[in-house]
Amino acid sequence: MSCVILDLDGTLLNTDGMFSEVLKTFLVKYGKEWDGREKHKIVGKTPLEEAAIIVEDYGLPCAKHEFVNEVYSMFSDHLCKVKALPGANRLIKHLSCHGVPMALASNSHRATIESKISYQHGWKESFSVIVGSDEVRTGKPSPDIFLEAAKRLNMEPSSSLVIEDSVYVIGSYSLEFLFALLLKDKDSYVRIGVVAGKAAGMEVVAVPSLPKQTHRYIAADEVINSLLDLRPEKWGLPPFQDWIEGTLPSEPWYIGGPVVKGLGRGSKVLGIPTANLSTEGYSDVLSEHPSGVYFGWAGLSTRGVYKMVMSIGWNPYFDNAEKTIEPWLLHEFDEDFYDEELHLVIVGYIRPEANFPSLETLIAKIHEDRKVAERALDLPLYSKYRDDPYLKITSSKGQ
């Protein structure tokens, strides 16, 4: 591959939450309440298509274009608050440092794309080409946007790598069938960017922005859990050089609380106890970090500081309904410590959560994670956080 074409919303920017926020405010004006029911229908649609769906579903007394104008002016006030998705800045910096030509190709209008990226440091300079849906005849799933992006980059479609959050979840059908389906069934959960990329004759990596979607059948050439898991060398692009002994360092992040009861599986089924923390109150931190296996330091209020390796997510092997935070403290304790205050400093990432063909292979992998974490935490880069004041908990409950 000689260039990379990126989708914006849901791939590089966390705009999903923003859309609901703006719509809630807007619908209140018309005495309606946003219930999120349209969310899956509007992913990846052009602004006018989105508007049509919402105006119709809520029976709004306004024309489509009025809706678009009003909602988009409200959007522009929210744009400065939109955050880059995990790994987006890292990827953009990496590709632009190595001189890999990059384009942004989005179903938004060009002006919206430009204002969205104006708040992200260094993005504008990194993309030599930007294509919005107002610059081509038809938006995705038509291949037009991607073809136009490749053309402006002076690249062949066949040597273009597309990165998209939109996946389709129906099964392994032909592109012709998918197009027919998309035209007929606006309600389907079909997400269209991947289809557009394939129709353009490009290689496509999908980064599903909805949780628990990676296992579904999709048209993409590869599905990854987050941009952190992209391996550019698989596509003939320069590899990332920031992995250190099987770990990806991050700015430290912090979560803590009393140890809660989990699903009773850790020690019983796996022989690996995990001191679960409640996810309550951590939705912001957790949305900034993809589900996956992480490591760092754990402080227990009455015991001390220990090395720690953890999983955050839905445990694909067990397919939990709820996201869980499961730190395994790398130390032998002779008793349980439910309700004790546990603080974590998370310093790096190891791998995405995965499914496994058997319990034995899952257990073996977790022990491998343990070794990776134990070794890495001795490196000065990570060992320095052992002294982080957040780990020295002075009990708030009094002695």
Q: Which residues are catalytic?
A: 7, 9, 326
Radius of gyration of the chain (CA): 23
| Identity of the amino acid at 15 | T
Number of residues that bind ligand RBF (CB under 6 A): 22
Residue 36 CB, nearest approach to ligand ADP (Å): 31
Query: Which range of residues in 92-100, 257-265, 288-296, 388-396 is near Mg ion by CB under 5 A?
Result: 257-265
Could you tell me if 330 and 370 are in contact, meaning their C-beta atoms sit under 8 angstroms apart? Answer: yes
Which residue sits closest to ligand ADP, CB atoms considered?
266
Cβ neighbour number for residue 328 with a 10 Å cutoff: 23
Residue 266 CB, nearest approach to ligand RBF (Å): 4
Q: Does 263 bind ligand RBF (CB under 6 A)?
A: yes
**Given 101, 157, 193, 262, the residue binding Mg ion (CB under 5 A):** 262
Peptide bond preceding 141 in cis form (omega within 30 of 0):
yes
- Map tokens 């440091």 to a residue: 121
**Given 168, 328, 349, 385, the residue binding ligand RBF (CB under 6 A):** 328
48 touches which of Mg ion, ligand ADP, ligand RBF, none (CB within 5 to 8 A by kind)?
A: none
Instruction: Please report, as residue ranges, which positions from 67 to 106 form the binding site for Mg ion (by CB under 5 A).
Output: none
**Given 13, 155, 309, 377, the residue binding ligand RBF (CB under 6 A):** 309
CA distances from 166 to 83, 227, 273, 385 (A): 19, 14, 36, 38
Instruction: Report the SS3 class of residue 56.
Output: helix
Residue 39 vs 303, nearer CB to ligand ADP: 303
Residue 364 CB, nearest approach to ligand RBF (Å): 11
Residue 121 vs 215, nearer CB to ligand RBF: 215
199 touches which of ligand ADP, ligand RBF, Mg ion, none (CB within 5 to 8 A by kind)?
A: none
Residue 141 CB, nearest approach to ligand ADP (Å): 43
Q: Does 133 bind Mg ion (CB under 5 A)?
A: no
Q: Does 270 bind ligand RBF (CB under 6 A)?
A: yes
Query: Which range of residues in 84-92, 264-272, 334-342, 374-382 is near ligand RBF by CB under 6 A?
Result: 264-272
**Given 246, 249, 266, 352, the residue binding Mg ion (CB under 5 A):** 266
Q: Does 315 bind ligand RBF (CB under 6 A)?
A: yes
- Reading the block at residue 149, the tokens are 């992006």
Pairing of strands 3-6, 160-164: parallel
Residues near 124 by beta carbon (within 8 Å), at least 6 away in sequence: 114, 117, 118
E-only strand ranges, the chain: 3-6, 102-105, 129-131, 160-164, 203-206, 222-223, 248-258, 292-300, 304-313, 324-329, 341-351
Pairing of strands 292-300, 304-313: antiparallel
Instruction: Please report, as residue ranges, which positions from 195 to 234 form the binding site for Mg ion (by CB under 5 A).
Output: none
Closest CA to 114 of 100, 125, 98: 125
Could you tell me if 107 and 145 are in contact, meaning their C-beta atoms sit under 8 angstroms apart? Answer: yes
Q: Does 274 bind Mg ion (CB under 5 A)?
A: yes
Residues at the site binding ligand ADP, with contacts judged by CB under 6 A: 259, 261-268, 273-276, 328-329, 331, 333, 336-338
Number of residues that bind Mg ion (CB under 5 A): 4
Q: What distance in Å separates the CA atoms of residue 195 and residue 199, rounded to the nearest whole number?
A: 6
Residue 239 CB, nearest approach to ligand RBF (Å): 23
Closest CA to 88 of 147, 165, 161, 146: 165
**Given 48, 266, 287, 363, the residue binding ligand RBF (CB under 6 A):** 266
Phi first, then psi: give them for residue 103, nearest 5 degrees.
Answer: -125, 150
Max intra-chain CA distance, the chain: 70
146 touches which of Mg ion, ligand ADP, ligand RBF, none (CB within 5 to 8 A by kind)?
A: none
Applying CB under 6 A, which residues contact ligand RBF?
A: 262-263, 265-266, 270, 272, 274, 293, 309-311, 315-318, 326, 328, 353-354, 362, 366, 369
